[in-house]
Structure 1
């Protein structure tokens, strides 16, 4: 979903501040981000709750800045080339590019797909992805977002962000994805306490049937939480007897990449 609760455009509303204009523009970009086939003006207006004229004004400004492009044949909007440049600079400055060889090394050793994720509100945003060479595999593309409570990376981020009860209280409804999803807050609390104690988390078919993931937090020497790294694959390969080995490999990898990453200022 690409919704913004504050983007309604009633004629009688007071003039919008600069911050509200930025929020509207971000809402448009998020809508285009999640649609691989492009989005029309009418669809953007419907999804953001803005009027067509306001949406057209925003898309024109974003297109002039190369943050969006419009397909001349379909008149649908896609993300623009300026975002590629900005993304590459951010990837370099935040340290993600330097960590990729270490994630590729982990994928080669385990034979499974690897993700690096960060917290974005009550979701995990996948930043880097290394796909398993196996024919039967599971992977998540960069930019993918997953609710924290159904993700091994998310559990790591929750367990290491501060007071566990406070973190759980901020989550709102714990939506069920499969019959194994943890939707009970007391059960989630016990799970997060275990994650904090042992240093790694398990997603046991809690988001996708037949898929398991094991993850560990990326903690800087000073204690700052930078993100989390996950190994994920089918349950037939990520078995209980492999978990200790995979946890040890994750611990080694996260220890090596922690100094390379810039810690976020908050979530």
Structure 2
């Protein structure tokens, strides 16, 4: 018996193509998954934009200079500035600066003050006294609540009056209640005389005496024109410029 049909046929390719068809459910699930994935990516992008967008915006505006502007002055700032100008004008009337100076109206004494002068260094304090009244190094400044120590010559020699600016020559004429004005850092401080003392020339306790509250101490030689003793005028604060 011989076989029937085609046993071998040349000319056909050695490979083939297979097409698989997905079911409807699979197609729906695939489409849904793609949509969800795209939605999640979009949500993430939008979240990043909303989160970082304002920060990036502020950085860009700052770099471009749009965030740099002048802060307007408040009423308190304007009032303080006006007060400073008034203090400066008042000091100028006396012929002194408002940075650091002293006025004793009763005896017509007025002078700028040289701050932080070493009272134990003769060369240093003599140089300072040629410019004005000296503020003793180690003592305090107005408003700090402790002793403020100022000193000057009271010589009766016309030559030395010119040389050392002896503004405290008449300091002994001050009495209890007399006013003393100190300008410091563009503020005005007022003091009233409480007492006077005559102490030994080598008495330096007033330079270091603390814990008594704020006191303004003016020192000069006594009697005038000598170096025998020291006259101290001690005053307490009664008024300070209201703007701190």
TM superposition score normalised by structure 1: 0.23
TM superposition score normalised by structure 2: 0.25
More strand by share: 2
Structure (1 or 2) with the larger CA radius of gyration:
2
